[in-house]
């Protein structure tokens, strides 16, 4: 009979396309993993992977089978969560994803409160972009994730807990720095520095400011807010940051100035996303409440 362990090994190979890396992820030897998958293929009577010394490919039939295998494992995880739901709040581990434009600024504010109220709570944190977090939550690889809305979450539930506006950041010597607030017209002639494609912060900011992504040298596109801020400090242009990042940005860069973007808001909404049938919804509600209360009192 096919085992859940065999399915989890096969899914690890599908994710990594590498037998050794998949074995390390599953904390077993490569020979153990290879034998389990060979036995699984024998039991099914089909080949799941094409492999040689250089690469691993998933067969067309393997893609179909492993998609169903992922669904099976996700349902098993939900059954386990449901069985544990009668236990004390936050007594079970939780895996949380968070986007890079939220994690470094939100987590230092809220995690101490969470730890103080639930000192034994085990929280694993993964930082990825929104599209990858949505995928991992849907597949059951993460229990929940924190992203910025609006964003297409494709059938997942969202639990909003915070709202905020954007601020323009410029060097104190720039023309923008003379204003206390700005609107989208002030940014039209500015050298606007943005995160690279794939970061929802840029899409949200441009939408709020009624702007399109400027044609800029790829070397002027940052991979993180920290990089963009350093570029602004070097008088290379201006950028847009969320309100939760303002205090941290200004504290470390006294020559920078922040101007509120005076456009209809809130400019972005922060929410947990979760599968509709996730058995730990009550725990998500507890964490959300702690996050919201902590932010409100800051």
Model confidence over 176-200: pLDDT tens digits? 889 999 888 888 877 888 887 667 8
pLDDT of residue 88: 76
Tokens 């915070």 sit on residue? 162
Band (pLDDT 50/70/90 cuts) for residue 279 is confident
Domains of the chain: 4-84 (1.10.10.10), 94-163+268-297 (3.40.190.10), 166-261 (3.40.190.10)
Q: Could you give the count of Cα atoms lying within 13 Å of 83 in the half-sphere of its Cβ?
A: 6
pLDDT of residue 218: 41
Q: Are 271 and 164 in contact (CB under 8 A)?
A: no
pLDDT of residue 219: 42
Interstrand relation of 123-127 and 94-98 (parallel, antiparallel or unpaired): parallel
Interstrand relation of 192-193 and 238-242 (parallel, antiparallel or unpaired): parallel
Lowest mean pLDDT among 19-33, 146-160, 185-199, 225-239: 185-199
Lowest mean pLDDT among 75-79, 83-87, 139-143, 180-184: 83-87
Mean pLDDT score, 280-295: 93
Using a cut of 0.75, tell me whether the model's pTM lies above it: no
Lowest mean pLDDT among 76-80, 176-180, 270-274: 76-80
Lowest mean pLDDT among 50-54, 68-72, 167-171, 242-246: 50-54
Task: Give the neighbor-by-neighbor strand order of the sheet with 94-98.
Answer: 123-127, 94-98, 144-149, 268-274, 157-164
pLDDT of residue 215: 52
Cα separation values, 176 from 185, 232, 247, 289, Å: 11, 12, 19, 38
Alpha-carbon torsion (112, 89, 295, 228), positive or negative? positive
Angle, helix 4-16 to helix 19-26, in steps of 10 degrees: 130
% the chain with pLDDT above 90: 62
């Amino acid at each position: 009979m096919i085992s859940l362990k065999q399915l989890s090994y096969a899914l690890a190979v599908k994710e990594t396309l590498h037998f050794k890396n998949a074995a390390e992820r599953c904390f077993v030897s490569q020979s153990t993993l290879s034998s389990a998958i060979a036995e699984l293929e024998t039991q099914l009577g089909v080949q799941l992977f094409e492999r040689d010394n250089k690469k691993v490919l998933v067969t067309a039939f393997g893609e179909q089978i492993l998609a169903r295998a992922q669904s099976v494992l996700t349902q098993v995880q939900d059954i386990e969560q449901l069985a544990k739901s009668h236990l004390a709040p936050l007594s079970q581990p939780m895996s949380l994803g968070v986007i890079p434009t939220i994690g470094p600024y939100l987590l230092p504010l809220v995690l101490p409160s969470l730890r103080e109220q639930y000192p034994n709570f085990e929280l694993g944190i993964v930082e990825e972009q929104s599209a990858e977090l949505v995928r991992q939550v849907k597949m059951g690889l993460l229990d929940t994730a924190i992203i910025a809305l609006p964003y297409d979450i494709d059938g997942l539930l969202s639990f909003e807990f915070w709202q905020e506006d954007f601020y323009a950041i410029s060097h104190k010597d720039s023309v923008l720095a003379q204003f206390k607030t700005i609107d989208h017209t002030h940014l039209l002639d500015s050298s606007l520095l943005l995160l690279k494609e794939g970061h929802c912060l840029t899409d949200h900011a441009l939408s709020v400011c009624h702007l399109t992504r400027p044609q800029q040298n790829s070397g002027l596109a940052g991979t993180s807010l920290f990089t963009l801020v350093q570029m602004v400090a070097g008088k290379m242009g201006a950028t847009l940051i969320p309100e939760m990042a303002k205090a941290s940005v200004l504290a470390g860069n006294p020559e920078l100035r922040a101007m509120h973007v005076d456009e209809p808001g809130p400019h972005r909404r922060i929410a947990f996303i979760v599968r509709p049938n996730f058995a730990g919804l009550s725990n998500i509600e507890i964490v959300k409440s702690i996050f919201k209360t902590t932010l409100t009192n800051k």
